[in-house]
Structure 1
Amino acid sequence: MAETPVSTTREDWVRTALQILVEEGAAAVKIMTLAKRMGCSRSNFYWFFKDREALLAELLAYWQARNTAAIIDRAARPAARISQGVLNIFDCWANPDLFDARLDFAVREWARRSAAVAAEVGRADSRRLDAIAALFTRFGASPTQAIVRARTLYFMQLGYYALDISETPAQRMALLSDYVLAFCGERPADADKDAFARRNLGSDG
């Protein structure tokens, strides 16, 4: 008996490719590998993409639209004080629905083997840093102070991911005030900490 053809969508191909990128790296994102995992014919791919390069470009666009856009959005959100603004950015680190750390790490690994991807990562880092620096500038930091504080905050978090540090939400919340103090020179108000916990943990801190 012939097998029933499997129907797929463009989103199915992108979602599966993202999974393989995170799990195995960019070199493993191949049309036949994707087709086998999805249980469909390789020819199905060409209904949605011209070639593998077009799919890889889509993965980079998704990464930018998710991870870079999240940081830019949170950094630009209204804040009554700098500590509140820093907590807005911390939403990205606390909420994987906003910022996918595993995807970010996978793209950076990909960049080690592709000059084009490395250039894209460099542009993304610049946009993220500019957005965070703009937050500090809004609260009176000089241009030099703003970029140094932005780099300290952002590069520290990248190092956190690179070292694969494992902490429970409770452990991170216990250090939250001191992290914010270290990054901006001001402790967050209790009300702001509670709001952060509700947004990201579903409870008061």
Structure 2
Amino acid sequence: MNTKPVLHRDDPKAEPLTGNIKVTRDDWLNVAMDVLISDGVDQVKVLNLAARMAVSRSSFYWYFKSRQELLDALLARWQATNTAALIQQSETEAETITAAVCNVHRCVVNPRLFDTALDFAVRDWARRSGKVRRILDQSDARRTEALTAMFARFGYAQIEAVTRARVLYYMQIGYDLAQLNEPVEFRLQLLPHYLLVFTGVEAQPAEIEEFGTYAKSFWEESI
């Protein structure tokens, strides 16, 4: 679940700001990210962000030359989090292909690895911007290539690895988009069957148990 960001000045763990500085560059980025997710890119405007933080809009230009630079920074952060996390999880060492897919599925349940709401916000943005569409296409290609390489490591022929990677990736996008309100227990009950569909291999009970414990820890946090 997306929560509004805590500004640096309101974070009890943060070092005090000096001088007349009331917000940091990360504050501008975090609030802009929140607006992008909740209201869309059209509302990511300097005046709107300044009002949310109760600061002068002029302070924006201490950190960014223009609104476009801020938008570029949002895309860069999305790439450095969501895309990087999925690729990293696909490359994580695993003894079996089913364990490898469970590693990837950690992105599904752990919002600290992969922000699904942000991914949807960027996809919506891409419908209005050719530039963002190209960046999104490149990101999707990088993600599916990483998943393809994951299947190939476990001996799948190239065309089968490509197919299974695409099924795994695009099924998850559609699954998230449907926003199914499923009980945690039911989702975990389906896990071994999903893994069999994705891989053609039955998962080991220990793999199912380990992923279930991991997933429940994050689902319980969101309640």
Q: TM-score, normalised by structure 1?
A: 0.94
Q: How does 1:4-153 map to 2 (within 5 A)?
A: 7-153=22-168
Query: Which is worse superposed, 166-175 or 73-82?
Result: 166-175
Superposed CA RMSD in Å reads 1.3
Maintained 8 Å contact 1:6/1:40: no
**Secondary structure of the corresponding residue to residue 80 of structure 1:** coil
CA distance in 1, matches of 2:217, 2:74: 30
CA distance in 2, matches of 1:192, 1:140: 20
CA distance in 2, matches of 1:163, 1:31: 32
Query: Which is worse superposed, 159-168 or 15-24?
Result: 159-168
Query: Which is worse superposed, 163-172 or 66-75?
Result: 163-172
Letter aligned with residue 199 of structure 2: C
CA distance in 2, matches of 1:169, 1:69: 27
Q: Offset at 1:6?
A: 6.8
Query: Which is worse superposed, 107-116 or 159-168?
Result: 159-168
Unmatched 5+ stretches in structure 1: none
Letter aligned with residue 17 of structure 1: A
**Secondary structure of the corresponding residue to residue 183 of structure 1:** helix
Letter aligned with residue 138 of structure 1: R
- Taking every aligned residue pair, what percent have the same amino acid on both sides? 43
CA distance in 1, matches of 2:186, 2:22: 45
CA distance in 1, matches of 2:186, 2:60: 45
Query: CA-to-partner distance for each residue in 1:17-73, whole Å, 9 max, x for gaps?
Result: 000000010011000000001110000100111110000001001111111011101
Q: Offset at 1:191?
A: 0.9
Q: Offset at 1:192?
A: 1.0
Aligned residues: 199
Unmatched 5+ stretches in structure 2: 1-19, 219-223
